Chains A and B, each alone.
Chain A
Amino acid sequence: MKKYLLTIAAALVMISGCVKDDEFLSTDPKDLLTDEAVWKSPDLVLSVLADLYNRYPEQQTITNWTEFTNFDEAFPSESGQYWRTKQVDYPYDWWNLWDYGYIRDLNLFVQKCSAAKELAEDVRARFVAEARLLRAAIYFEEVKRMGGVPLILEPMEYDFSGDPAYLQHARAKESEIYDFVISEMDSIKTILPDDAGIKSRATKWLALAMQSRAALYAASIAKYGVNTPSVSLPGGEVGIAADKAIPYYQKALDAAQQIISSGKYSLYKKKAEDLEENFAALFYDKANNPEVIFAQDFKLKSGKTQEWTILNQPWSSAEEQQGGRINPSLNLALLYEKLDNTYSPFITNNGSDYMYYNDPKDIFAGRDARLGGTIILPGTKFKGVPLDIWAGVMYWKDGKYNTITGDNFGDLDSIPVAGTPKSSQVVGTDGPIDGLQFSAQTGFFVRKFLDPTVGSGQIGTRSDVWWVRYRYAEVLLNAAEAALELGQPGLSSTYVNQLRERAGFTTPLPEAAISFDRIVHERRVELAFEGHEMFDNKRWRLAHKVWNGETISANDVVSNIGKADKINTMIYGLWGYKIFNPGNANHGKWVYRVVKPSNVTAAHRFNFGNYYSRIGSDILSNNPKLVKNPNN
C-alpha cells in the first residue's frame, strides 16, 4: 500500500510540477508590479506618484535639523555638531544637487501617464500635471543651487552604440530654467484642482505660489547680480541680464495677487487671544488650516512620522533623555521688533549696572509675537511645564558680583555666602551650560514646528506635525517685495502690514517705511526656520557680505539691527542669571548677559564660489559640454 501511495504521489508531483518550457520563463512576478499593470489602475499610479512626492528636494527641513545650524539662525547643541560653528569656509560642493535620476523618473512618469489611455481623462490629466509640477520643482531647486542645468524633458535612452555623445547636453541659461518653471506653472495651473483644502498634493494655488517664488528669485538675481559681477558666466549659465528684472518682478506680483484676490487663503488667526501661541499653532494645527498651501504631511502609526520634537524638546519637559538641539541665536531673536515698530536690543545694562528683571520673561516683553512663537523663551511654558533656562547665580560678595554655576542640568551647589543653605540649584534644568549638549547653549530653544501633543517627544510615538513648504504669508511677502521693486511701496505696505498686524503690531508701517532692508527683515523674522535664509541671501547677493569671515563682537551683534547687510558671522546667546543678595532690593531678580558659546570659534565666510555650488568632477568629465561654475 505504502509503495503504491509513494508511486502515485511521485507521479502527481511529476505531472503538476512541470509546465511548458516557454511558460516557465515568462511567469508573472509576484513581488513587483509590471508596467502594464500599473498604468491601468489609478490607485497604483497614485502610489508611483507618492514616491515622486516623497523625493521632493529640500535643504533645510524638519527632517534634517543640522542644516539649520550652518548660518546664523541657530547653534547646534549636540556634541558631534560643533564643527559647524568652528569652520570658516563652506565647501563649494556643500549644497550641490545633480539629481537626474529623479528627473528621469519624472520624465518617465509624464511620458507613460500621458499614454495611459485606460485611465479616465481627468484623472490622468491631474496626475500628469502633478508630475510636471514636481519636475519644475526639482529644476527650480537645481537652478537655485547650481545655476542653469541641462533642461531634459524626455527620458533619454542609450542605444549601446558605444558613443554616448548624443546624450550629453549643455547647460541651459539660468534664466531659461526660471522661464521653464514659470511657463510650466502657467500651463498646469488650469488642470490642477483649485481646492484650497488639499495641502499635501499639488493645487492650482501651489502652482501660482511656486511661480511667484521662482519669478521673484529670477528678478532679484537679475537686479542684484550687478553687485557681484564675478558671479556670472559668459554663456548665461549663471547670471541674468539686469533688464529682465522688471518683467520677472511683475510676474511674481501677478501670481501672488491671483492667490490673494481669490480669497481662498488667509492668515492663521484661530487663537487670537494669545498671539504667540497663534503663531506657533499655525505650524502644528493641521485641521482646516487656512494659511498652509503645500506641506509634507506625516501620520502617526503609519511609519511616516518625524522626530523634530524629540530632537528639540526642552530638557525640562523632555520625554526622552534628549532634545534641545537647535538653539536659536540672539542674532535672530533681537531682530524681532518692539511693538512700537522700533528695533531694540534686549536691555541688559542700565548705565554701568545690570538691568534687573522681576521675571525672566520680562526682558522679552512688548515684542513682536513671532519672537515667542518662533523661539522658546526663558520664563515661558512648553507642554504645560515651565521652562527653567538660566545660566547661574550671581551672588554679592566682597563688593562685587561673583558667579556660580553647575555643569549638569539643574545642578545643586552651595553658594559661598555665610548663612545660605548647604545646597541649592545653581543652574537651570534646561541650561544654558556651555558645551553641554541638549542644553540651551544660546539661552533659547526652537518652538516653530514643535509638537505640543503628549508623546510627540517619545521615540516610540514621534510626531505628525507637517513641514510647511508654501504658505500664504510667504505669498504676501513675495507680493510685498515685488511691489516695492516695481515702485509701489504703498501697495507693498498693505501686504507687510497684514503680517505685522497678526504679530500684534497696532500701528501700521507707513509707506515711507518700506525699503529693501525692511523686506529683508520681514522675511527673516516671518520665515525663520523654514529654509529660506540662505537662498534669500544668495539671490539678493547679500550672502558674501553677511557672512564675510570677519569676527564680530557682542557689541556688533546688538547694533545695526534691521540692516540687510549686517555682518552675522558668529552666533551669540543671551544668558540669564539669578541675583543672590539677601537684604538687597535686587535679591531674587534676574539679569542677562550677552555671551558667545565657547564652541563658536570661527566666523563664517561665504565665498563667491559658494553662490553656485561645484559640479562634481565625475559629472564634468562624463559630459565635456558642461561648463564649470564661476569661482570654484
Chain B
Amino acid sequence: MKKIFVYTTLILTAFSCRKDNYEAPSATLSGHITYQGVPVNVSSKDVTFELWEPGWGKNGAINVAINEDGSYSALLFNGNYKLIIPPSQGPFRSITDPETKSDTMLLTINGSREMDIEVMPYYMIRDAKMERNGTTAVNSSCRLEKIITDANARNVETVFLYLNQTRFVDATNYIARSSLAGSDITDPANVHLSVNIPDVISGNGTTGDQDYVFARIGVKISGVEDLLFSEVQQINLK
C-alpha cells in the first residue's frame, strides 16, 4: 500500500513539470558599426544602440553595447525590430534610412544575421601608427580625416594617446596618457604624440613582469561625449 503511494507520488511529480513556454532566444544579430565599410572604434561598452520590438504590451528598448573595435552582437528572438542609434550616442551621427526617411531602421530577424551599420563619424583616424621609442616611450602618428564638413561639423577638442595593460584602452582605462589640444594641431594629416611608459606598468601595484602594453589614440570632439578611437595596438617592450 505504502509502495503504491510512493510510486504514484513519483509518477505525478515526473509528469507535473512541463517545459517552459518560451524557447531561449537563439538568433544572433552581429556586425560592426562602420563608415564606408571601415569599423569605427569607440570606447568599450560605452556606446549603445537600441532595438525595439513593437507589438508587445509595453515598450522597452533592448540596449546593445558596442565593443571597443566597433563590433556588436545580440541574441534575439526572431521577429521584426526597429533599430535606432540615439542621437547622443557615439562620435558619429546616424544616417537617414532610405526606407523610413528617419533615423529608424527596420530590421527582420529570422535566424542569425550579420549586418554592418553605416554611420557618419565626425572624424576618422587614418594610418594610426604606434611604436616603441627607445625603452621609455611610445610614439604615435596618425591622420585625422574630417568626415562631416557641413553645418554639423565639429572641431577636435583634444587628441589623446593612451597606454594600458589590458586590451581595454580608453578614457577611463589607462595607466598613462598624453594629450594634444585641438587648437595646437597644425596639420591634421600629421598628428604626433608621445607618452612615457610608467616605470611600474601594472595598475594594481605588483611590479610588472608583463613585457607589453596596449596603446590607442583617442579623439575628443567638442560637444560630443563619446571619444573616437583608433584600433588597439600591442607594443612589445622587449
Asked whether, in the complex, the Cβ of B225 is within 8 Å of the Cβ of A608, the reply is yes
Known: A603-B172, A607-B225. A621 touches B88 (CB 8 A): no
In the complex, which residues of chain A have a beta carbon less than 8 angstroms from the beta carbon of B60? 617-618, 621
Q: Which residues of A contact B223 (CB under 8 A)?
A: 229-230
B70-99 toward A: CB 8 Å interface, digit per residue (1/0)? 000000000000000010100000000000
Interface 1/0 per residue, B57-71 and A, CB below 8 Å: 011110000000000
Tell me the complex Cα distance, A184–B225, Å.
38
Q: Does A125 touch B at the CB level, under 8 Å?
A: no
User: Do B171 and A550 touch across chains, with their CB atoms under 8 A apart?
Assistant: yes
- A176-223, CB < 8 A from B: none
Minimal beta-carbon separation of A224 from chain B (angstroms): 15
Judging by beta carbons under 8 Å apart, are B172 and A88 in contact? Answer: yes
- Mask, A230-256, CB within 8 Å of B = 1, is 100000000000000000000000000
Interface status of B49 (Cβ within 8 A of chain A): no
Once bound together, how far apart are the Cα atoms of A414 and B171, in whole Å? 45
The reply to whether B88 and A630 contact each other, CB–CB distance below 8 Å, is yes
Instruction: Report A82 CB to chain B, min CB distance, Å.
Output: 15
Given A229-B223, A617-B60, A618-B58, are A549 and B88 neighbors across the interface (CB < 8 Å)? no
A550 partner residues in chain B, CB cutoff 8 A: 171-172
- Are the C-beta atoms of B61 and A549 separated by less than 8 Å? no
Nearest A residue to B61, CB-CB: A617
The complex places the Cα of A631 from the Cα of B61 at a distance, in Å, of 15
Asked whether any CB of chain B lies closer than 8 Å to the CB of A632, the reply is yes
Q: How far is the CB of A243 from chain B (nearest CB, A)?
A: 22
Interface status of B35 (Cβ within 8 A of chain A): no
Which of A601-624 touch B at CB < 8 Å? Answer: 602-603, 605, 607-609, 617-618, 620-622
B contact residues, total (Cβ < 8 Å): 11
Which of B59, B88, B174, B225 is the one whose CB lies under 8 Å from A620?
A: B59
How long is the Cα–Cα vector from A230 to B88 in the complex, in angstroms?
Answer: 8
Q: Is A506 an interface residue (CB 8 A)?
A: no
Please encode chain A, from 283 to 310, with 1 for each CB lying within 8 Å of some chain B CB and 0 for all others: 0000000000000000000000000000
A228's closest neighbor in chain B, by CB?
Answer: B223
CB neighbours (8 Å) of A617 from chain B are 58-61
A-side binding surface: helix, strand, loop or mixed? loop
Q: Is the CB of B171 within 8 A of A621?
A: no
In the complex, chain B residues whose CB is within 8 Å of the CB of A621: 58-60
Tell me if B225 and A602 are in contact (CB < 8 A): no
Q: CB of A551 within 8 A of chain B?
A: yes
Q: Is the interface of B mostly helix, strand, loop or mixed?
A: loop
Report yes or no: B88 in contact with A632, Cβ–Cβ below 8 A: yes
How many Å from the CB of A360 to the closest CB on chain B? 28
Q: Is the CB of A549 within 8 A of B225?
A: no
- B156-185 CB contact bits vs A (8 Å, 1 = yes)? 000000000000000110100000000000
Task: Tell me the A319-355 residues at the B interface (CB within 8 Å).
Answer: none
Among residues 183 to 238 in chain B, which have CB atoms less than 8 Å away from a CB atom of chain A?
Answer: 223, 225
A interface footprint on B27-70 (CB within 8 Å = 1, 0 otherwise): 00000000000000000000000000000001111000000000
Closest to B170 in A: A549
Within A460-489, which residues are at the interface with B (CB < 8 Å)? none
- What CA separation (Å) do A602 and B173 show in the bound complex? 9
Q: How many angstroms from the CA of A172 to the CA of B163 in the assembled complex?
A: 47
- Give the residue name and chain of the B residue nearest to A616 (CB): B60
For A88, the chain B residues whose CB sits under 8 A away are: 172
Cα-based distance from A630 to B87 in the complex (angstroms): 9
Question: Is B88 within 8 A of A631, CB to CB?
Answer: yes
Nearest B residue to A551, CB-CB = B174
Measured in the bound complex, the distance between the Cα atoms of B205 and A389 in whole Å is 25
Q: Which residues of B contact A603 (CB under 8 A)?
A: 172
**Given the complex, which residues of B lie within 8 Å of A618, measured CB to CB?**
58, 60
Could you say which residues of chain A place their CB within 8 Å of the CB of B171? 549-550
- The chain A residue sitting closest to B173, CB to CB, is A88
**Chain B residue nearest in CB terms to A605:** B172
Residues from chain A with a CB closer than 8 A to the CB of B59 are 617, 620-621
The reply to whether B58 and A609 form a contact with Cβ atoms under 8 Å apart is: no
Q: Which residues of chain A have C-beta atoms less than 8 A from B86's C-beta?
A: 631
Contacts of A632 in B (CB 8 A): 88
A607 to B88, CA, bound (A): 11
Instruction: Report yes or no: B88 in contact with A602, Cβ–Cβ below 8 A.
Output: no
Bound form: Cα–Cα A88–B174 in Å: 13
Instruction: List chain A residues, Cβ under 8 A from B61.
Output: 617
For the complex formed, measure the closest distance between the CB of A164 and the CB atoms of chain B, giving whole angstroms.
14
Q: Of B58, B174, B225, which contacts A631 at CB under 8 A?
A: B225
Residues of A within 8 A of B172 (CB): 88, 549-551, 602-603, 605
In the bound complex, residues from chain B placing their C-beta under 8 Å from that of A607 are: 225
* Chain B residue nearest to A231 in the complex (CB): B88
**Chain B contacts for A620, CB-based, 8 A:** 59
| Residue of A230, A551, A618 contacting most chain B CB atoms (<10 Å) | A551
Task: Return A590 CB to nearest CB of chain B, in Å.
Answer: 26
How many whole Å from A543's CB to the nearest CB in chain B? 13
Chain A residue contacts of B174, Cβ below 8 A: 551
Complex alpha-carbon distance, A630 and B88, angstroms = 8
Shortest distance in angstroms between A435's beta carbon and chain B's nearest beta carbon? 13
Q: How far is the CB of B82 from chain A (nearest CB, A)?
A: 14
CA gap between A605 and B46 in the complex, in Å? 12
Q: Which residues of A contact B88 (CB under 8 A)?
A: 230, 608-609, 630-632
Report the bound CA distance from A630 to B223 in whole Å: 14
Separation in Å of the A93 CB from the closest CB of chain B?
12
CB contacts (< 8 Å) of A622 on chain B: these are: 58
Q: Which residues of B contact A605 (CB under 8 A)?
A: 172
B114 to A: closest C-beta gap in Å: 29
Select from chain A the residue with minimum beta-carbon distance to B171: A549
Instruction: Give B164 Cβ to nearest chain A Cβ, in Å.
Output: 11
Q: Which residues of B contact A630 (CB under 8 A)?
A: 88
CB distance from B219 to the nearest CB of A (A): 16
Complex CA distance for A617 and B60, rounded to whole angstroms = 6
CB distance from A407 to the nearest CB of B (A): 17
CA distance A190 to B33 in the complex (A): 61
**How far apart are the CA atoms of A621 and B57 in the complex, in Å?**
9
Chain B residues in 8 Å Cβ range of A230: 88, 223, 225
Q: How far is the CB of A595 from chain B (nearest CB, A)?
A: 13
- A88 and B171 CA atoms in complex are apart in Å by 11
A549–B43 Cα distance when bound, in Å, is 13
State the B residues within 8 Å of A (CB): 58-61, 86, 88, 171-172, 174, 223, 225
Q: List 9 A-B contacts (CB under 8 A).
A: A88-B172, A549-B171, A551-B172, A617-B59, A617-B61, A622-B58, A630-B88, A631-B86, A631-B88
Query: Which residues of A are at the interface with B, using a C-beta cutoff of 8 A?
Result: 88, 229-230, 549-551, 602-603, 605, 607-609, 617-618, 620-622, 630-632
User: Can you add 10 more A-B contacts, CB < 8 Å, to A605-B172, A631-B86?
Assistant: A230-B88, A230-B225, A549-B171, A549-B172, A550-B171, A551-B172, A551-B174, A609-B88, A622-B58, A631-B225
Q: Which 4 A-B pairs have the closest CB atoms?
A: A631-B88, A621-B59, A617-B60, A621-B58
